Copies of this chain bind each other. A is one copy, B any other.
């Protein structure tokens, strides 16, 4: 048995392995503030790259960034009944505006007339602003996005995947017509899916949520669902068509081309730091994280091997020259992010720390490489290949291509895994129950995944799923339309849905 950097392994205890990987990669940790996390440089660096990448896609489709208040007056939530029902149970409420010393202890003081809610999402406060900004059809579409922190009180936090405070982007748009709003809703879902595949190397399934799983206040909710390495689903992004709900609650009206006063159609869509959790659960292995190159804060890390009997100065100069040359190489029009790790610790320790962080390419440069004008490198996607020696000039020419192939390999591995765990031949309840019946402690080796089957659409029937801890993840967009039998009720059904356990 090979020694692995992460103990326990995925196969031994998937949940513990996940927590260990996030910590070993130094991406994030739970803080002492219950349910809140600290994003460390490697994890926050990924978030920044994700922001930059998504921002470009948002701008190209006409969206502009705004920033709205953190605090929302309690009364705003009373205006949209289904919205508040969805969030009331998990709201952080500010009730006082100072601390004073009483009996030697600090206590809250200065009670507010109206409590303020720390935003769990911003439809209400942005709706309020839109109602002031929108007068005529000329002001439409209004295409906003916000990068912000949000808070949803969380009793069972899980690093990156479910934390009380998290970072996200929330797009909010207003449109003249149903068609435009629906086009926007689906366009943004497409952008999320493309982003996940092109940048995160994360294959996703696009679909619509069933009514009971919609965002509170939405008419339709669309989602992308990804499969983790234990076969569970993770909702990686959502896009909502909100109809006239918020427009009516906040009186967002406009003078139409025909001179009539009409309500706008609104949408909202978001992805969060949760996606970084999906990244780990999809790509990490028993040696730690494997970071897809487009999201790696450092794509290439150069480790100088400084033995006592070698010309250390020559090695350091060679490393610096390599860094400078590689920093001119481009991938997707952006220059590579290359670091020489000069930290004062043994090279073997540094090598393992970068393996655990998942730097895509790790170069080890000692006297031999300098002498022979070579490069010794390891690909994090395939450590089994061992160290590869290459002529320096050759390597410079190949570096962009190697990173590209690492991305492709990670994507193909994840897609193959998703396909291997997609069950499409279950058509009755007995088989369904047998499939999901036993949940291993260790989800990784359980072999469980997604069941794609017909469902009649009767939400009452979903109660059968509760005991299994399974939910309907989505109605996937690609449907064969053939008539079959509902896996829950045995009734006639034509619609395929995806069933799974989920994070």
Hey, which bits of chain A sit against chain B, CB under 8 A?
Answer: 31-33, 36-41, 44-45, 47-48, 64-74, 77-78, 84, 88-101, 106, 108, 110, 115-118, 125, 128-129, 138, 148-149, 151, 153, 164-165, 167, 343-345
Contacts and interface: CB of A to CB of B under 8 A. Distances in A.
Contact of A32 (B45, B93, B128): B128
A116 B99 contact: no
B73 A167 contact: no
B149 A68 contact: no
Count of chain copies? 2
A129 B29 CA distance: 10
Given A36-B71, A77-B106, 17 more contacts: A32-B73, A32-B128, A33-B73, A36-B70, A37-B69, A38-B129, A41-B66, A71-B164, A84-B99, A90-B98, A91-B99, A92-B96, A93-B96, A94-B94, A94-B95, A96-B115, A118-B118
Nearest to A63: B41
B153 A97 contact: yes
B98 A38 contact: no
Contact of A70 (B68, B91, B165): B165
Given A74-B106, A106-B84, A344-B138, A65 B89 contact: no
Contacts of A93: 94-99, 108
A90 B96 CA distance: 10
Contact of A69 (B36, B110, B148, B153): B36
Contact of A92 (B40, B89, B116): B116
Contacts of A37: 69
Contacts of A47: 67
Given A41-B65, A66-B40, A31 B125 contact: yes
A243 to B, nearest CB: 23
B94 A92 contact: yes
Kindly list the 4 A-B residue pairs having the minimum CB-CB distance in the complex, ordered from nearest.
A36-B69, A41-B64, A39-B67, A93-B96
A334 to B, nearest CB: 13
B71 A92 contact: yes
7 contacts: A41-B66, A70-B118, A70-B149, A88-B101, A94-B94, A97-B153, A138-B345
Given A31-B125, A78-B106, A125-B31, A100 B118 contact: no
A180 to B, nearest CB: 16
A74 B107 CA distance: 8
Contacts of A148: 149
Nearest to A42: B64
Contacts of A33: 69, 71-73, 116, 125
A251 B106 CA distance: 21
Contacts of A77: 99, 106
Contacts of A32: 73, 128
Contacts of A345: 138
Contacts of A92: 71, 94, 96-97, 116
A62 B48 CA distance: 17
Which residue, of A69, A72, A98, has the highest number of chain B Cβ atoms within 10 A? A69
A47 B164 CA distance: 27
Contacts of A108: 93, 95, 115
A312 to B, nearest CB: 19
Which residue, of A71, A84, A88, A117, has the highest number of chain B Cβ atoms within 10 A? A71
Given A36-B69, A37-B69, A77-B106, A91 B100 contact: no
Contacts of A151: 70-71
Nearest to A87: B99
Contacts of A101: 88
A341 B148 CA distance: 29
Contacts of A167: 67
Nearest to A149: B70
Nearest to A273: B67
Nearest to A85: B101
A234 to B, nearest CB: 21
Nearest to A128: B32
A148 B165 CA distance: 13
Nearest to A39: B67
A45 B31 contact: no
B88 A99 contact: yes
A320 to B, nearest CB: 16
A45 B345 CA distance: 42
Nearest to A26: B133
Which residue, of A89, A106, A125, has the highest number of chain B Cβ atoms within 10 A? A106
